[in-house]
Amino acid sequence: MSINSSNKPSPNLNGVKAFFFDAGHTLIYAYPSIGEIYSNVTARLGANVSPDTFMKEFVPVFKEFVKKYTTDPSNAISTNDADYKMWWNITRQVYDKIPEMHAVNFKEWFDMVYDLFGRAEHWRFYDDAVSTLETLRQKGYRLGVVSNWDTRLRNIVKGLGLDKMVDFTLISAEVGMRKPHPSIFEKALCLADVKPDEAIHVGDVYEEDIVGAIAAGIKPIFLDRHSKQTKYDGVVTINRLNELLGLVK
């Protein structure tokens, strides 16, 4: 799908002054991949599990946790400890579903994985991210990152140079609440010094990014990088970030 499809809604950019972006799987992705990082750490501990095996178990577990953390208000609170516990629980379920993993000490494996995902060298920009941010900034838009993450993201953002491409980075563990809670979006509006109808938020997780933006009065754009043909009524969908450049003056 593309934003130019005749049967898709078109975004109204009149008066828009700011763009907010999710971080993971919107601007950046795990390198070499989530599955490969899991597999490589496992090999270092003496077990052999393929990246594909990890991803087969990880994806449905992660989706279930997204649903849990976006529908239960008690899970909206975000801190480093809460996010550590969340990832512990996610990876524990993945670990339990793979018999070969039972020869590996879970805590040792988890701590190694958790450490690697906090390092900038294990993240890369999507090939359309930097050019899109640079062009939007040149056109005078205020730019911000609004992410459900713990404070490890600060090191990643700095290491990749993303902090120099945007005006601010908001991390849920620092704000205290996760998307879709409106407080993190309200903080973004304050930092950008814009009204809700003057901002657009772009993200790849409907339950967090789109629902949260709408609740805060911000125009949402859903990023469907894998072209899954997902349709959400009234929501503009793009497959690549640089499609945004065709919308701005």
Q: Would you give the distance in Å from CA 21 to the centre of its chain? A: 8
The boundaries of the domain holding residue 94 are 31-121
Residue 6 resides in a domain: no
Residue 5 resides in a domain: no
Q: Kindly state the average pLDDT of the residues 158-176.
A: 98
According to the model, what pLDDT value does residue 71 have? Answer: 87
- How high is the mean pLDDT of the chain? 93
Band of pLDDT at residue 115, cut at 50, 70 and 90: very high
The tens digit of pLDDT for each residue in 6-51 reads 445 666 788 999 999 999 999 999 999 999 999 999 999 999 999 9
Task: Judge if 212 and 240 occupy the same domain.
Answer: yes
According to the model, what pLDDT value does residue 229 have? Answer: 59
According to the model, what pLDDT value does residue 192 have? Answer: 98
**Cα(29)–Cα(129) distance, integer angstroms:** 11
Task: Judge if 184 and 197 occupy the same domain.
Answer: yes
**Cα(238)–Cα(220) distance, integer angstroms:** 11
Task: Judge if 23 and 38 occupy the same domain.
Answer: no
Task: Judge if 74 and 190 occupy the same domain.
Answer: no
Structurally, the chain folds into a number of domains equal to 2
Q: Kindly state the average pLDDT of the residues 78-104.
A: 97
Task: Judge if 147 and 234 occupy the same domain.
Answer: yes
Task: Judge if 136 and 203 occupy the same domain.
Answer: yes
| Helices 51-71 and 80-97: angle between axes, nearest 10 degrees | 130
Task: Judge if 134 and 240 occupy the same domain.
Answer: yes
Residue 217 resides in a domain: yes
Task: Judge if 144 and 23 occupy the same domain.
Answer: yes
Band of pLDDT at residue 3, cut at 50, 70 and 90: very low
Among residues 98, 121, 144, the one where a domain terminates is 121
Whether residue 234 has pLDDT greater than 80: yes
Tokens for 236, please give them: 């503009």
Band of pLDDT at residue 210, cut at 50, 70 and 90: very high
Residue 109 resides in a domain: yes
Task: Judge if 137 and 91 occupy the same domain.
Answer: no
Q: Kindly state the average pLDDT of the residues 59-80.
A: 92
Distances from the Cα of 195 to the Cα of 11, 189, 198, 219, angstroms: 17, 6, 5, 11
Among residues 121, 146, 176, the one where a domain terminates is 121
Among residues 88, 121, 154, the one where a domain terminates is 121
**Cα(123)–Cα(32) distance, integer angstroms:** 8
pTM of the model: 0.93
